[in-house]
Structures are given as structure tokens and as C-alpha cells.
Structure 1
Amino acid sequence: MYRVWTFLTNYSLLLIIGAVIALVWANIDAEGYHHFVEFVIWDHAPIGHYHHGHRTLTLHYLVNDVLMALFFAIAAKEVWEAVILKNGSLRGKKAATPLFATAGGMFGPIAVYLGLAALLGSDTYNAVANGWAIPTATDIAFSYLVGRLVFGAGHPAVRFLLLLAIADDAVGLIILAVFYPSGELAPVWLLFSFGAALLVYVLFNWLPRTLDRGNQARPNSTWVRKKLHFLPYLVGGCASWYGFMMSGLHPALGLLPIVPTIPHADRAFGIFSGAEAYLTDLLNQIEHALKHPVEVILFFFGLLNAGVEFSSIGDATWLVLAGLLVGKPVGILIFGWVAAVPLRLGIPQGMRIVDLVVIGCVAAIGFTVSLFVASVAFDAGPVQDAAKMGALFSFAAALVSFAAGKVFKVEKQSV
């Protein structure tokens, strides 16, 4: 049973199960489903949706705005390590071509989405334009799973895909913060968030290490680690999250300032690396402790966000799908080729330029983040539902990936 649970959680299949239940429920009893989603946990609460002069904490808000902060914190942890640590996957020349390809994986979908929307007329364009970021997303876990099945676990294209997905997540977090605020902006509250992060870092990370300088026993750092463990970062995280909520930025990003303050390993082994299971730094310990709870959160995220009636399929559905299934592969191929050939940055040994097309198809699985962006890009209604359906249908990219692998004669490589 444990191995089944591990497989389900490692590849986010709990999220799929939640989404399937939501789809069935919404199409059998739409009114009952929406009543469940908007169930009021606490009216006149200190946190929640703000309307009519007070805040209301609903089940939807609890999952999307509070608990999903843990999901984005784990994504931010991988990005942070990839950028800051020795051997980080987004450092140096080895990351140059994947970063170019990531840019193509962003601009390609945006161009296809907005270009097709413009062709459909001004009314359609105005209705769907704010969803331009939906098809830019790449679901790391599902893309990793499909990539391994298409290329084989030992193929260099799998590592290339992971670099691209990590960079995609980094840009996605910036897009969410900048272009999709949750309310009227009050930037002064960000000082509260970053002040909390700075205070936690100075008092519980920098200061103990400074006091221990020259003392191999490290008594101060050891005391903080054993006696306080993650508690200071939990308190700082709550303060940072509250600051984001009050600032108008999406509170699901509220833990991002805290992630860099947590003591971390000296070097990165890469996302999904088995070696990380043996790291004892606090950042990795927190990530491992959160892994299964976050997967359960993703189940509820799927349950509360994927409940769309099939009658909701509309222009936004096809625009999101076109952005992902056409824009992603084309953008990744063009930008990856420019980096590898004219700019002479090269590609990993054992990879072919044509493999970029297959990588682009795999990266077109938007699902989790696409679903999240759709929920914040549009108000509840037909356009949001249609866009969500496009995010759900992006699983078709898995089938397209297998077909592309056959067409371009990908030779699977084992570890």
C-alpha cells in the first residue's frame, strides 16, 4: 500500500482524482457542487474574500489562497536552489539553452493565444485577453512523468525538460505576482512581508552562524535548530502571507519571501533527485515533511477548481489548447534552435534539435498552474469555466508527446 501511495503522490495523481470527481459532480449536480465550493467556513473573518466591508473565509479561499501557498513555496524552493546553490541547475552555460527554450515556451503560447483571439474578433479578444498567461504554464510533475515515459529515464532530454520546467515556474511566479493581483494594491504591506522575512533570517539564521564563527561545535546554531526547529519560519511565513493578502498580491505567493531565509544545503542535486532524501538541512527537511500534505492539498485544489460543466466549452477552451499544443512546441523549437545553433550555446550531448519539438509537446501539459491562473485571470463565469476546460484538456499533450516521439524516432534511454 505504501508503494501505491508513494506513486500516487510522487506524480500528483491525487490531483487528477480530485479533478475527475469535480468534473463528474459538476455535470451531475452543478448547484450542489458550487454550493460545496463556496461553503462559508467563517463570516466576518480576519482573512478571506473582502466584500461588503468584511472578509469571508470560504472553502475555496482556504484551499486556493491559503493552503496552495505551501505548493508554491515548494516550487519556489526548487527555483531558489537551482539559481543560488553550487551546481544549481539554472547556473552557468549549461542552463543557457534551456532558458532560451523557456522564453520560447512563454512567447509562443502568448502569441498563438492572443493572435487567434484577435482573429475571432474584438468582442472575443476583449473577453479572453486577460487569460494570456494560462497557456504559458508547465506542470513539472506530470511533464516529468510523461518525459520519462517518452524519452526514458536516462535520456538527456529529461534533464533539459526539468530545467525548462523549473525556469518556467520561476517566470510563472513573477507573472502571477505582477499581472494578477487579488485586489487593490497596497504596496506598503509588502514591507511587512519582507520585513518579517528579513527579521527571521537575521535572528535565526545569520546571527547564530555569526556567533559560531570559528567554533566547530556551533553551539548557537545547534540550539536554534534543536529547540526551535521550523517554528520561527512558521511564524515568519504566517506574517509574510498576511502581508501579501493585505498588499493585494495573490496570497498564494505569500511564503515566497520566507523560502530564501531558511538554512539550506550547500549544493543542489536537482528536482526529484533521490540524493535529496538524505540531506539534513532545514529547507529540505521542511520540503520532505510537506510533500504528502501538499499532495492532499492538490487533491482538494482539483476538487474545488476543476468542476466545469462540459457545456462551458467555448472560445477560451480552444485558445488555451492552441497556445499549449501549438505555441509551446513551436516556441521551444525556435528559441532552442536559435540558442543552440546561431548563438552556438549547444544542446546536451545525446540530444538532437528535433527532440526540442517532443520536449515542447511534453511541456504543453499545463494542468495545475494553468488551472490556477485560469481561476485568477477571470471572474467566475462562462469564460473562466471555458478556460479551465482548456487547462484540463491539456492532458491531451501527453498523447501528442507519445505520437511525436514515434514520428521523430526518439530512442528511449534507461538510466
Structure 2
Amino acid sequence: MRFLRTYRKPAKLEFFTTLLLILSTILALAVYNSPLRGIYKYIFDKTYIFSSFTLHTFINDFLMSIFFLVAGLEIKYEILHGNLSSLKKSSFPVLASIGGVVVPALIFFHFNKNTPYLNGICIPISTDIAFAVGLFSIFRKKLNTSLKIFLLSLAIVDDLISIAAIGIIYSLDLNLDYFTIALIILCVLCIANLVFNVESITYYLIGGACLWYFIHLSGVHSTVSGILLALAIPSKSTNYSLSTLERLQRVLVPINSLIVIPLFAFANTGISLNYNLDFSKAPTLSLGIIVGLCVGKPLGIMLFSYISCLLGIAEKPSYINWSSIFLVSLIAGVGFTMSIFISEIAFIRDAALINIAKMSILMSALISLCSTSMAILIYSFISKKYKGEYNHNSNKYRIS
């Protein structure tokens, strides 16, 4: 899903992932609002696996663990070797990302305090990096290519905060017995890495499947197992040219980009578009999501990054200016995949609220996409105009 330094997939894959995500969403909306709705609901709501999992829950609970494992591998690499490997490198995007989480959460809280919708507070805090990178790829000729580093660093920290929120806020009653077994499995995997130098991908995937199972039984949301498994994956190699982390990325990144993300979108964006979707039942929920993502996300990123530089806590990278950071903050306001995923967890027992939340997420994504596109075009036009005037004046000066 992301441009990994350790797995240099073709740049076109990022754009193709975004395209598949959009097509999956449009197809799900079209199917759900046609005579085929019954077939769609039957396929995803019928119990298939061990008489306890529907296809919908299998995608959200198991396949999305792969999504989080890929995110975890990237976070681990960036902390060890990449843009988050030192305080100087990480302080600016980390503080900007914290702002992009805190301000949307505060906006949502303002609209929904003392309401039954407060459980959705984490819905507007997330950035959909698939959409963000795809949008960046579309306008890459009009933007400084170095901005991608800042965007990815921002998204990595955003993912880490979102994963922590899912594990802490949306876990059910904890079963200590199963959770202890899960921790023992994690310790065994870490010992295999640190003590015995085990580098077998198969070993870690089998151990990861066991970890997922007991995390699921413990009451902690099962997708957290993906980020925990990433902690145990070796980042150095003695027997191979690539580390286990890098080899696992080569296997999982295409699966995640081309199968897991589009399938998740198709399974979770079946929303009724008819008049029965009554936003008046939860107006503050809708407002909290839309304003949080479209206004709160850019405002938080800009506010925290500017104040951190003003106070000398962080230093803005020399390769970007404040106008460029504002454009990135608008791109970060598209919270599609993670926001939908969190809405499914937050309102798991209320289908009406889930539909309202999903529609609000779709609306905010469209608003963010339109505002980002307009801002980039205006920025490109102004930059080109000033550059042309500068060149004209320079030539005139040289002639005279």
C-alpha cells in the first residue's frame, strides 16, 4: 500500500491501488442500490467459516490483520532505519501527525459530547494513505517530489496512533487466559528472532496465525495481532541477501494492495443511497466526521507543525515550504479505509449508525478530494505565474 524503502514496488502500483479502491467503492454502491442487493448481503452475511465467521467479519477481522501487519512492518523499518530513526528526523512529522489526530478528535467530541455517538471519536482521526498517495501521484508533476517523504512519515505516525486507539478503545472485555497465551506466543516468536536467529517466513506466519487466534479470543481486536507480529519479524539477515522483514514485504505488499484493500472497500461500502438513510437521527455524528476530517485534519497538522517550529521543538525540513505542507494536510483529510474500518467497530451493534457514518466518510472524502485538487491547481498556477515573472524580470535585467 505504501512506497516502502525496503520494497521498491513500481510507482504505478500505488496509483493502481487507488484506482481499484475507487472502483470497488463505486461497484459496491451500484450493486447495493440495485436488485442485486439481496445477493450482496447474502454473500457477505452468510456464515461460512467454522460456523462463526461471515465473509464480512472474515475480511474485517482476518484479512485486515494483513493490512496492519504491512503497516507494522513499515513502521518498524522507518523507526529503525528511515524517517523516524532519529529525533531530528521524526519530530516534525510526528508532531504534525499528533495535531492531525487531536484536533479532529476534539471537533468530534465538541459535536457529540453527552450523546450515544461519542464511541465514534476515532473515526475522523485517520488518513487513508492509499488515496493520499494516489492523489499525490496524480499531481506529482505539479508538486515537489520530496513532499512524498513528509506525507508518508505523517501517515506512518497516523497509522500507529490509529492502531493504538483500536487496541485500547475498541477492545471488548479482556479474557486474561487467552491474552496470556497470546503474549507467550509473541515471546516465543521474539526469542526465535533475537536468540536463535530464525529467519523462516513460514515460521513467523504460522506463529502469527496462532497469535491472531488467541488475540481474537482474548477480546482485544484481532487486527492488533498484525502490529504485534511485526515486532517479532527480524529486520537483519545473516543467511539471506534480504532480511525476513524485506522478504515478507515482497510477499505481502502486492496482496495487501491488490486484494485486501479493494476487497475491504467492496465489502464495507454497500450503503443505501435512498431516502431511508435519515441523517436527522444522528446529525452530530455526521457533522463530527465531516468537519473533523475536512477541517480538523488540515487545521491540526498546520497548527501543531507551526507551533512546534515557533517554539523550537521541531524544525521544518528545508525542502518544503508552508504552502506545500498545507497541500499535504488537505490530502491527509481523506480518511476513507481506516475511518470506515473504525466505524464498523465503533457501532458494531447498530447498522443504521454504521451507514450514516460511512456515508459521512464518503461525503468528507469527496469534499477533501475536491478541495485538494482545487488547491493544488491554484498553487501550481500561482507558482508558475510567479516563476514566469521572475524569469522575465531576470532576463530584462540581464539585457539592460
The answer on whether the counterparts of 2:236 and 2:243 sit within 8 Å (CA) in structure 1 is yes
Task: Give the Cα–Cα distance (whole angstroms) in 2 for the partners of residues 383 and 361 of structure 1.
Answer: 26
Aligned-partner Cα distance in 2 for 1:371–1:141: 14
Q: d(CA) in 2 for partners of 1:155 and 1:5?
A: 12
Map of 2:244 onto structure 1: 282
- Larger deviation, residues 309-318 vs 23-32: 309-318
Question: What does residue 73 of structure 1 align with?
Answer: 69
* Structure 2 spans left out of the alignment, 5+ residues: 1-8, 385-400
Pair 1:302-2:297 in alignment: no
Give the structure 2 partner of residue 165 of structure 1: 155
Mapped partners of 1:385, 1:19: distance in 2: 14
Q: Retained in 2: the 8 A contact 1:147–1:161?
A: no
Residue identity matched to 2:194: W
Are 1:93 and 2:88 an aligned pair?
yes
**Judging changes above 3 Å, is the alpha-carbon distance between structure 1 residues 193 and 97 closer, same or farther for their aligned structure 2 residues?**
same
* Whole-Å separation in 1 of the counterparts to 2:185 and 2:301: 39
- Please list, as runs of the form range in 1=range in 2, the aligned pairs for 1:16-415 lying within 5 A after superposition: 16-29=22-35, 30-42=37-49, 45=50, 56-83=52-79, 85-118=80-113, 126-150=115-139, 152=141, 154-181=144-171, 183-203=172-192, 205-209=193-197, 225=199, 229-265=200-236, 280-294=242-256, 295-311=258-274, 312=277, 314=279, 315=283, 316-343=285-312, 345-378=314-347, 379-396=349-366, 397-408=368-379, 411=383
Structure 2 letter corresponding to 1:172: S
CA deviation map 1:86-130 (0-9, x unaligned): 344353212111111111100111122222335xxx5xxx23211
Distance 1:170 1:97, change over 3 A: same
In structure 2, C-alpha distance between the alignment counterparts of 1:115 and 1:249, rounded to whole Å: 28
> Contact 2:109–2:121 at 8 Å: present in 1 too?
yes
Moved more, 6-15 or 291-300: 6-15
AA aligned opposite 2:362: L
Contact 2:167-2:220 within 8 A present in 1 as well: yes
Secondary structure, in 3 states, of the residue corresponding to 1:127? coil
SS of equivalent residue, structure 2 residue 53: strand
Contact 2:83-2:90 at 8 Å conserved across structures = no
C-alpha contact (below 8 Å) 1:136/1:324 kept by paired residues:
yes
* Cα distance in 2 between the residues matched to 1:331 and 1:9: 27
Secondary structure, counterpart of 1:322 in structure 2? helix
Seen in structure 2, the aligned counterparts of structure 1 residues 23 and 156 have a Cα distance that, compared at 3 Å, is same
- Displaced runs of 4 or more, over 6 A: none
26 and 313 in structure 1: CA distance in 2 versus 1, 3 angstrom threshold: farther
Instruction: Find the aligned partners of 1:155 and 1:302 in 2 and give their Cα distance.
Output: 28
- How far is the alpha carbon of 1:6 from its aligned partner? 5.6
CA shift, 1:350, in A, is 3.1
CA drift at 1:324 = 0.5
Contact 2:18 2:134 in 1 (8 A): no
Q: Secondary structure at the match of 1:89?
A: coil
User: Aligned pairs, how many?
Assistant: 363
Q: 1-side partners of 2:311 and 2:11: how far apart? A: 47
Contact 2:112 2:118 in 1 (8 A): yes
Q: TM-score, normalised by structure 2?
A: 0.83
Q: CA deviation at 1:7?
A: 3.4
Normalised to the residue count of structure 1, the TM-score between the two structures is: 0.80
What is the CA deviation profile of residues 353-390 of structure 1, one whole-angstrom value per residue up to 9, with x for unaligned ones?
Answer: 23332221100111111110011111242111011112
Deviation at 1:164, TM superposition (A): 0.7
- SS of residue matched to 2:33: helix
- Return the alpha-carbon distance in structure 1 between the equivalents of residues 22 and 30 of structure 2: 12
Q: Aligned Cα RMSD in Å?
A: 2.7
**Distance of 2:278 and 2:132 partners within structure 1:** 24
Distance 1:201 1:344 in 2: 35
Whichever residue aligns with residue 156 of structure 1, its letter is: S
The one-letter amino acid of 1:202's match is I
* SS of 1:258 mapped into structure 2: helix
Distance 1:359 1:4, change over 3 A: closer
SS of the aligned residue for 1:346 comes to coil
Equivalent pair of 2:14/2:133 in contact (CA under 8 Å): no
8 Å contact from structure 1 (residues 155, 350) kept in 2: no
SS at match of 1:254: helix
